[in-house]
Amino acid sequence: MSGSSKVRRPATLASLAAELGVSRTTVSNAYNRPDQLSAPLRERVLEAARRLGYPGPDPVARSLRTRRAGAVGLLLTEALSYAFRDPVATGFLEGLALACERAGQGLLLIPVSPEHADVAAVHRAGVDGFVVYSVREDDPHFLAVLERPVPTVVCDQPAGVEGLDRVGVDDHAAMLGLARHLTGLGHRRFGVICMRLGEYRSDGPASAARLADIAYPVQRNRLAGLRAGLAEVGVDWATVPIWERFDHSVEAGQTAAAELLAAHPQLTAIVCTSDILALGALRRAVAHGLTVPDDLTITGFDGVPEAERAGLTTVWQPVLEKGRAAGELLLERGDRIRPRSVTLPTELRIGRTSCAPRDAERWFSGL
Amino acid sequence: MSGSSKVRRPATLASLAAELGVSRTTVSNAYNRPDQLSAPLRERVLEAARRLGYPGPDPVARSLRTRRAGAVGLLLTEALSYAFRDPVATGFLEGLALACERAGQGLLLIPVSPEHADVAAVHRAGVDGFVVYSVREDDPHFLAVLERPVPTVVCDQPAGVEGLDRVGVDDHAAMLGLARHLTGLGHRRFGVICMRLGEYRSDGPASAARLADIAYPVQRNRLAGLRAGLAEVGVDWATVPIWERFDHSVEAGQTAAAELLAAHPQLTAIVCTSDILALGALRRAVAHGLTVPDDLTITGFDGVPEAERAGLTTVWQPVLEKGRAAGELLLERGDRIRPRSVTLPTELRIGRTSCAPRDAERWFSGL
DNA sequence: GTGAAAGCGCTAACAG
DNA sequence: CTGTTAGCGCTTTCAC
């Protein structure tokens, strides 16, 4: 209001053109195709723009016209503020950001506000495609994404729906490998700590009903892989206690391990479906006076740096690659003829938290 | 082309309206103002939409019309893929994401591709405002942001330019406090390890010329604060060796410390302008057989979790709060009358890496 | 409760 | 090299 030059003039491309007595095309070209007009004319246009406070073509109007937003949307499991704490998610984000940067595309993080269950944010997102990272299969945001007529790639989901592109690892096979490592060492009495299995909070032993209806493919596959591995040596899955935690944190792993061990003190191995949970279990075991791995074997999943530092036996997966692959799949022009699926390799990393149980000889001598 | 229903029909609001024999307004209302039409009619519209494969109002067209994109843009110093590795940046991101979620706004990460020096990405961004996080003052992307006629809040920058909102800490005062702690302990022979000071890579001792023209406000202020603190006890700034590192990593801190100590073995304290660098210096000192803090005092800045675990003496700053404050400043409606500036408090955290130097008595007895 | 009119600001053919 | 012509798909007063 005071004489500030910051009074935003609503100058538009059209008004600029009028002012200069040239056509809108010319002004547009001055910005988008410098080779389509003479240098002096271009300079005249740009100079006038500066003088009139014209900030250049409006990005939204341009997007409407060109039919491209120049950004990809990312839908995450949780409140995205949480994602920045999770090393697996940040690794994925880093890879995805890498791919976006290389393509000069923006990365739009879709807000999944816990308060307003705002599917609207998905509708509002001006993007050329979506990446969906490990969400519940019945997540309404996910469903909303599927409605949008833009290419979408899902991560760690079954290839399932309507020809989406997909990237992920074989969680089932990876966990099976880990299970074989453990049964090979002689373990027979397992306990499990896993991440959330459904929409609503539930902490503690997972009921059979809950296990039968796991909404998160990653958890479902990891548990199934473990089950298959144990079945190979005749361990009855129904006898394996499975402790669920809604929150994914070291503390959650810690308390879960405490409860699990209290209820089942005879366990020789605790398999966790994530490193974070395993680190918590590890902490609890140590605090409890147990020697790992001699008294108790503990394993994780993901291969995050912190786990490596701790010498955790785990399955490493290429999270950064996963993000990058997702981005490339989405941004790559061309053969979008049929859905593509990228499965990345995992690696069993045997650390210092697994060894034969004290009673191993019992099993082997029993043969 | 085959009978798949996935052939994206270019159905539009208009075509839907035509099909139903109602006006576009009605269709629009069905989506945006359910209370403006009868429930049965609305259901008819939605049903037809489903049938025709109309995905709902196009977000870009809507944005053009409503003049709001529903997202804020974030401009980061570096390749954004790097940001996800830096605990300070992720803390900031978490806070910002929190604010965005609460407001139901998307967060668009602007790609700062090192390859294409793509200021265009800034122009292309369909956002209602920008947050600029600790960039070089002459960064072309930053300049491009300033051109855009949308509210912008800068972080850790001088309030400077044309009435932008600002959030940050008082780096100068914080570092002054740290300096006083060290000089109070008796230190007089300081070495410094700092982050990049200019656009182009330079590793090693920073020349006077380079120090006189630091492009990053954060580094400038931290060094100035230190200088002021040392001046108070008569330490000549010109005699203080300052080692610069372009890359911000533990390894960088490590090699910087190695060089610094080799060239100046008599130092009793190394002040680092970030925790990450300090952790590297710490690692180097230990590897070198030095006992910290007895042989050498080492300090950091930021107060990241890893530093706390290491017991580093440092200045803690509320990075999450900073992100949240930036978001709130941007999203908050109302009194955008005059630029606002939020300065958050810092806290000197004395850990186990600082103590009096062996020759302290020399100085005190000299009084 | 519903429709008609009027653009939002821009780009992409295609002529000249 | 420059201008003319047509919308992109939607929302929003304002009458009916």
Per-residue pLDDT of B302-354, as tens digits, reads 999 999 999 999 999 999 999 999 999 999 866 566 678 999 999 999 999 99
> What tokens does A271 get?
């398999």
Tokens describing residue B318: 């509320």
Whole-number Å distance between alpha carbons of B169 and B164: 16
Residue B94 has pLDDT above 70, yes or no: yes
Residue A9's pLDDT band, with cuts at 50, 70 and 90, is: very low
Q: Contact B70/A125, CB-based, under 8 Å?
A: yes
- Mean residue pLDDT of chain B comes to 91
Q: What is the rounded (10 degree) CA torsion for A208, A214, A219, A224?
A: 60
> Do B105 and B47 touch, CB atoms closer than 8 A?
no
Q: Say how far apart CA A180 and CA B108 lie, in whole Å.
A: 44
Q: What pLDDT, on the 0 to 100 scale, is given for residue A336?
A: 63
HSE (side-chain half, CA atoms, 13 Å) at A280: 25
User: Tens of pLDDT along B133-189?
Assistant: 989 888 999 999 999 999 999 999 876 677 789 999 999 999 999 999 999 999 999
- What is the nearest nucleotide to A10, using C1' and CA? C9
pLDDT confidence of residue B79: 77
pLDDT of A363: 53
Q: How many CB atoms lie within 10 A of CB B362?
A: 11
Residue B300 and residue B277 in contact, taking contact as beta carbons nearer than 8 Å: yes
**Mean pLDDT on B72-76:** 96
A12 touches strand C (CB under 7 A): yes
* Of B348, B272, B278, B284, the residue nearest B307 (C-alpha): B278
How many CB atoms are located within 10 Å of the residue A216 CB?
Answer: 23
pLDDT value of residue A334 = 61
Q: Residue A57 pLDDT > 90, yes or no?
A: yes
What is the arithmetic mean of pLDDT over B114-118? 68
Report the C-alpha gap between A244 and A205 in whole angstroms. 6
Name residues 58-87 of chain B within 8 A of A (Cβ).
Answer: 58-64, 69-71, 73, 79-81, 83-85
Q: Looking at chain A from residue 155 to 184, which residues have their Cβ under 8 Å from any Cβ of chain B? A: 162-163
CB contact, 8 Å: B98 with chain A? yes
* Structure token digits, residue A339: 């859905």
Of the candidates A301, A302, A303, A281, the one whose C-alpha atom is nearest the C-alpha of residue A292 is A281
DSSP class of residue A237 equals G
Tell me the C-alpha distance between B175 and B220, whole Å. 11
State pLDDT tens for residues A80-128. 778 999 999 999 999 999 999 999 999 999 998 766 667 999 999 999 9
Closest CB to A8 among B58, B59, B149: B149
Average pLDDT over residues A41-50: 92
- Among A80, A116, A122, A338, pick the best mutation site for testing chain B contact (most B Cβ within 10 A): A80
Q: With a cut of 90, say whether residue A145 has pLDDT above it.
A: yes
Beta-sheet strands, E only, within chain A: 71-76, 106-109, 130-133, 152-155, 165-169, 190-194, 204-205, 242-244, 269-272, 297-299, 314-316, 341-344, 347-349
Instruction: Quote the distance between the C-alpha of residue A298 and its chain's center.
Output: 24
Residue A241's Cβ-side half-sphere holds a number of Cα atoms within 13 Å equal to: 19
pLDDT exceeds cutoff 80 at A47 = yes
Host H or E run for residue A324: helix A319-331
Q: Which of A23-32, A170-179, B274-283 is predicted with the least confidence, judged by mean pLDDT?
A: A23-32
Residue A1 scores a pLDDT above 50: no
User: Per-residue confidence at A365, pLDDT binned at 50, 70, 90?
Assistant: low
The Å distance, CA of B128 to C1' of D16, is 37
Q: Is A111 in contact with B101 (Cβ distance < 8 A)? A: yes
In this structure, the strands spanning B204-205 and B242-244 are antiparallel
CB contact under 8 A, A80 and B57: no
* Strand C close residues, chain B 60-79, CB < 7 angstroms: 61, 64-65, 67
Chain-chain contact of B102 with A113 (C-beta, under 8 angstroms) = yes
- Residue B134's pLDDT is 87
What is the structure's pLDDT at A77?
75
Token code pair at residue B229: 């603190």
| DSSP label of A138 | T
Mean pLDDT of the residues in chain A:
91
Which of 218-237 (A) contact B at CB < 8 A?
none
CB atoms < 10 A from the CB of A254, how many? 21
* Structure confidence by residue, pLDDT tens digits, A236-257: 999 999 999 999 999 999 999 9
Asked if the C-beta of A189 comes within 8 angstroms of chain B's C-beta atoms, the answer is: no
CB-count exposure of residue A236 (10 Å: 0-12, 13-18, 19+): exposed
* Closest among A34, B148, A93 to A26, alpha carbons compared: A34
Please indicate if any CB of chain B lies within 8 Å of the CB of A55: yes
Secondary structure of A74-134 in HEC code, one letter for each residue:
EEECCCHHHHCCCHHHHHHHHHHHHHHHHHCCEEEECCCCCCCCCCHHHHHCCCCCEEEEC
Cβ contact B125–A61 (<8 Å) = no
A362 pLDDT tier (thresholds 50, 70, 90): low
Tokens in use for B294?
Answer: 């007895």
